[in-house]
Structure 1
Amino acid sequence: MHAIPEASLSPQALRGASLIQTLHWLALGRVGVGELCATYLDAIARLDPQLGAFVDVRPALVREQAEAAERRRRDGVLGRLDGVPVAVKDNLDIAGWPTSAGLASRRGRIAQHDAHAVARLRAAGAVLLGKTNMDEGALGATTRNPHFGPTHNPLRRGYTAGGSSGGSAAAVAAGLAVAAIGSDTLGSVRIPASYCGLCALKPTHGEISARGLVPAARRLDAVGLLARSVGDLTVLLQVLAGYDADDPRSRRRRVALAPPDWEPGRLRTGLLPDLAAVGVEPGVIALFDAALARLERELGERRRVDFSDWDFGRTRRAGLLLMEAEMLGTFAEDLADAARPVSAEFRRMLDYARGKSAADYVAADRLLDQATLKARRLFAQVDVLVLPTTPQGAFPLDAPAPANQADLTGFASLAACPAVSIPMGTLPDGMPVGLQFVGPPGSDLRLLELAEVCASALDAAPEFPVGAR
């Protein structure tokens, strides 16, 4: 008997597939790297002018990378991500490309070297599709960029994709990239993941080298990951994690990443006692309660944890002050560039830090120590903290941004903890919102395993718009 040939994969199937599924199809020969990359380039050319996810795409370079990946497949020497199209936020260096960090004054600043995370992607065989849009200087959570234009939420045009890694999230949610890397200082991959219905990881601080990332606040900056499934995040983390002697905050491990070791039925889950009191909107609370009900078995013993000593708004503002103060140095030349000026809003925010004293900065910096101690006490009582990722869902691009967008993501950043966001469900207006898992430093893989089990139980990912248009 002759085997029945498998049907060819449609562009919609390719663009809607997870990273793991894409690797499987490549390994089976169901699709070639050239065809895969051509599918993504075609989708970007057709759809991105209305979406605004990318700021720089170079089709000729993408094809060169695809041809090199095809040669490796013929030679039989493959990297972990060989042939997979990935997008990169435009505050991470790609050698030979400009790194704008969302500022017009940096359009001509060509990176001489790859960021460490980008170099790891290349070494694993990933195809770099292009650079993605972001908030100006990574200072914001809407990706309403005054120089490169806004990024629209792929699930509803005219709504924010979140930020500051909004372009990376929109590219993945719209099926314009298999996965993307961004940065997360106070929530900048988790907030867009929540608004776009994606999965995101902010790893333990220093787990992935931040060398080659334009700094926002070095004590908080993390390279973050965005994908359509938790399993994809695990693959990306294993490729990108590792000690970098040239990054002063890189984390040297004495042992490998802690393997999954949750004991079924013995998990201790920490919950905040009153979400409304910390500004979470009623629709999000209702979804959160419904998710907890569906995860009764997966989340084990629930314990209400005391956060009365943690002011979510005050600590988020302290983190912003650290960012703004450091950015005065990072963007000093850009602030002085009269020919290509920064926006009035960006200048106003940095001027706020300029008006603060050294004592104000030290007081904000000391909150990081308080966060570290708070996390130690918390994770002596529970294994994981579970809470919504954002207090609200996506909102119109022309609406004022809520001040508390990063209130629920800030704790993990300030305490240097890993955090994972997965889709939690859909709000009454039809937009998604995320469920967040926070664990002690070093528990990244354990946290991802729990998140994957919960994501499977909830099955709450939205229908991504990857159909023919």
Structure 2
Amino acid sequence: MTDSDAIADRLRRAPLYRVLHALARGEISSEALTGACLAAIARDHALNAWTWVDDAGALSAARASDERRAAGKPLGRLDGVPVAIKDNIDVAGLPTSLGLPGHHAAAREDAHVVKRLRGAGAVLLGKTNLDEGAFGTIGRNVHHGDVGNPVNTGRAAGGSSAGSAAAVAAGHAIIALGSDTLGSIRIPAAFMGLVGHKPTFGELSCRGLAAGLRRLDCPGVIAHCVQDIALLLPVLAGYDAGDPRSRKRRVPLAPPDWAPGELRAGVVADLAALGVSPEVVERFSTAMACVAPVFGSTQPVALDIAPMDIAATRRAALLLMEAEILAAHGEAMQSASERLRGLLAFAEGKSAVDFARADRRLDAYVVQVRRLFEQFDVLLLPTVPMAPPPAGAPEPSNLADLCALASLAGCPALSLPLSGGQGLQLVGAPGSDLRLLELGEIISAVADCGE
């Protein structure tokens, strides 16, 4: 292995900010880095992290990036950075399979977030594997193979953005785009020792993202550290008139102005009642003992009261999600597994009144969460209720319950890695993404995150 090969092999596992520095200083070329990522993808094929890999397109884009840098005219912030895209997000010229079998026509244009990545010079490596139909929490796919966990081997990868997380964890890509409807970014990020960010609903355009549940769907990022996400959010965020739910800011996305000594933190205190395992309760309590001094004040928050029945509200959201998947992808679902077709069939037996009741329940939940954030500025809780289950084990029914709290209310959420495939989750009021990212960097420095 040459010195250049060794540098490329090391950098493919490095945080984004380190890679950007290396590319800007000429320590590594995009072509060498992209080649190292593609070689790793080929070696790790048993991981089942990818559905489509565009070797020729990626290498061509990398060479073009190197030429721009040599001319002193980089295209944008991410010029030359190898990126993975979840296979429910459109990339022009590549199929969007949604984890289903068969032939899929190539997308005619990039999803809005992909267009912003490409516009910043990112090198798009291909599409990553996911739970079938993006409907799952453990990375299970009978068509493309279950996604492996390269960090906690023999354990579930988490989902549905399983391949995106595995690609970053294994050094196949520097960063990855995923989608999060009820925890699909944060769960695999926690299971693989990574950072996952679900933005405020509407902050990133969903145009070109295959619908799961439009009132909850969010594109988001999986990366090695919080600083990487802080670099990416301004690139990806922005109003899109083509997305009816796109959030139009009155002021530009900018760092928040807040006094740490006055920051109020709510800490979920009824974890056992929410089905959290003793192992996770203990790990979360240890992390909170380190984190508490960061805030001006902390207060316990109970979520097991009837209006905040997260599990029941998540089930209402699943009914809406099943109906929307059938409405948006009904023909494609004919090739789905018997398991997925059976889950979706549940929605066909419900009435319009049932769907209206479920929708109204979600509206009531949003109001409850808004009232919670009148009491504090940020809510802290575990990302997942248990450590990663063994690969091949039955899918736990409550794996997304703790992530659902933020999703159901459209709140931003950040998952920081804790040891043992667990995560520390920060949830903020809508629009507080940058506050969460600043807090996440501080907490990562003082807590035993990922150690």
Q: What TM-score range do you get, normalising by the shorter chain? A: over 0.9
Residue matched to 1:236: 232
Residue type of the alignment partner of 1:372:
V
1:442 and 2:431 correspond: yes
Identical residues among aligned pairs (%): 53
Residue matched to 2:447: 458
1:56 aligned to which of 44, 52, 58: 52
Q: Is the 8 A contact 1:134 1:163 kept in 2?
A: yes
**Mapped partners of 1:206, 1:7: distance in 2:** 42
Query: What secondary structure does 2:325 align onto?
Result: helix
Residue matched to 1:45: 42
**Mapped partners of 2:431, 2:440: distance in 1:** 15
Paired residues for 1:309-348 under 5 Å: 309-336=307-334, 341-348=335-342
State the shift of 1:11 in Å. 4.1
Residue matched to 2:382: 388
1:363 and 2:360 correspond: no
1:90 aligned to which of 87, 90, 98: 87
Q: Is the 8 A contact 1:168 1:226 kept in 2?
A: yes
Q: Deviations over 1:304-336 (max 9, x none)?
A: 224213112101111111110101111211234
State the shift of 1:258 in Å. 5.1
State the shift of 1:9 in Å. 5.2
Residue matched to 1:167: 163
Query: What secondary structure does 1:10 align onto?
Result: helix
Q: Is the 8 A contact 2:152 2:191 kept in 1?
A: no
**Mapped partners of 1:8, 1:246: distance in 2:** 43
Query: What secondary structure does 2:184 align onto?
Result: coil
**Mapped partners of 1:121, 1:255: distance in 2:** 22
Residue type of the alignment partner of 2:143:
H
Gaps of 5+ in 2: none
Q: Is the 8 A contact 2:98 2:130 kept in 1?
A: yes
**Mapped partners of 1:8, 1:102: distance in 2:** 33
Query: What secondary structure does 2:289 align onto?
Result: helix
Q: Is the 8 A contact 1:8 1:30 kept in 2?
A: no
Residue type of the alignment partner of 1:406:
A
Closer/same/farther in 2, CA of residues 129 and 303 from structure 1, 3 Å limit: same
Q: Is the 8 A contact 2:4 2:32 kept in 1?
A: no
TM-score (norm 1): 0.93
Paired residues for 1:139-288 under 5 Å: 139-257=135-253, 259-288=255-284
Number of aligned positions between the proteins: 446
Closer/same/farther in 2, CA of residues 7 and 131 from structure 1, 3 Å limit: closer
Q: Is the 8 A contact 2:51 2:129 kept in 1?
A: yes
Query: What secondary structure does 2:374 align onto?
Result: helix
1:302 and 2:291 correspond: no
1:354 and 2:323 correspond: no
Q: Deviations over 1:66-103 (max 9, x none)?
A: 01101110222221101000000000001111000011
Q: Deviations over 1:110-130 (max 9, x none)?
A: 100100011000000000011
**Mapped partners of 2:99, 2:426: distance in 1:** 29
TM-score (norm 2): 0.96
Q: Is the 8 A contact 2:181 2:218 kept in 1?
A: yes
Gaps of 5+ in 1: 1-5, 463-469
2:101 aligned to which of 94, 101, 104: 104
Structure 1 segments of 4+ aligned residues over 6 angstroms from their partners: none
**Mapped partners of 2:96, 2:4: distance in 1:** 41
**Mapped partners of 1:418, 1:296: distance in 2:** 21
Residue matched to 1:465: none
Q: Is the 8 A contact 1:206 1:222 kept in 2?
A: yes
2:113 aligned to which of 117, 128, 153: 117
Q: Deviations over 1:169-205 (max 9, x none)?
A: 0100111110000100000000111111110110001
